[in-house]
Structure 1
């Protein structure tokens, strides 16, 4: 009888052809094949994302579009004791498996990493600095997020009404439920292209406004509409493999 994996890494994708291959290779290289299961949940990519997944390295599921929907789909299928949600344009530390196993063994039920933008601009150090704190406004999906299956299922997973803020919402509910949270003293690497495409000030102002609106109870539909109206999406937002330092 096969031993179930300890960690299920769940990656929602939508047109991530430039990112998914390097990410899966990285996760597979530093994750033990028996202990780490990789689950890709595609929401209808039209750029060949699914064909870029290294053969035999990950399970591929298809679902309706929407990160919350896709991540719930992956969690419902996954076999791990701990779920680790990773965005396709983020790169976890090479020690991610050991970090999560150790935190879980110490009684932490959920958590994530600090974040570091792949940019030489000094202004991004301000954002990087605040991700070391566990305040809800300093956390986000780009930093990746682990949560035990037990807690995830007790909370009924992600609220699928949210197209943005879905990780904030789940983290907030996990903390209210008494889940012990761990912030690792290591950083996930991620793209700064959204900031470069829109401007550093604009993205931060929109993020603050959307977060406050979320806390004030503005509907998920309005949050999505405002966010998409105020921020442009870079059509070439993929991160090339060579942008990531080894390890």
Structure 2
């Protein structure tokens, strides 16, 4: 079984290098492929990816949902693994996903914890990712899903220029697709909280989720979110 790791990027020069270094030096690298889909970065992201000789594609328009769908169309693996550029994966991710799939699990994610959190309240956020509540989920936790299942539910809905991960999770649930939170924690960047206050980010996330639940146009949600947070 081959795992296709799909990484959407947009101006990720500070993080993409360490992730690709981890992946290209992984002892099980023959068991996965890496695909980067860029949203027209204006920094050094593209040149960093090219230096690793990783397959690189460009998405137009720039949209994480569009980028991840593009990566999925290029994937040769039986399992798709969507990974943000600023995460630190656990070294056992290949075996973890293999184990889940062998037990009949069709999709899933990891818990997370923040890398060097400056605010102790961030430990609370990480703690709750172990529970099976949808409001605890998010793209930062990464997502694996069987490719045939991903195709069957029509992938990411590209109308969602934000909240695309929650929309997909809703459809995974509505289709009765098995989902598991692997009991290990990846590390994610706390940069959003460093640029904004903890309370400000939490309130913005809460309002965005309420807007999503009310069926408000994703473009309006993104406009609110982008204007609220740095």
Give yes or no for TM over 0.5: yes
SS at match of 2:30: coil
Q: Name the counterpart of 1:79.
A: 76
TM-score, normalising length from structure 2? 0.95
Residue pair 2:50, 2:56 contacting (<8 A) in 1 also: no
Q: Name the counterpart of 2:188.
A: 190
Pick from 136, 139, 164 the counterpart of residue 137 of structure 2.
Answer: 139
Shift of 1:171: 1.2
Q: Name the counterpart of 2:208.
A: 210
SS at match of 1:179: coil
Shift of 1:197: 1.1
Shift of 1:33: 2.8
Superposed CA offset, 1:66-96 (max 9, x none): 1000000000011010000000011111111
List alignment gaps of at least 5 residues for structure 1. Answer: 233-247
Structure 1's consecutive aligned runs of 4 or more residues displaced over 3 angstroms after TM superposition are 54-57
Matching of residues 30-179 of structure 1 within 5 Å: 30=26, 32-53=28-49, 55-64=51-60, 65-118=62-115, 119-179=117-177
The number of residues matched between the two structures is: 228
Partners of 2:19 and 2:85 in 1: CA distance: 7
Q: Name the counterpart of 1:16.
A: 12
Q: Name the counterpart of 1:200.
A: 198
Residue pair 2:65, 2:158 contacting (<8 A) in 1 also: yes
TM-score, normalising length from structure 1? 0.89
The RMSD of aligned alpha carbons is: 1.3
Partners of 2:51 and 2:76 in 1: CA distance: 20
Partners of 1:179 and 1:58 in 2: CA distance: 31
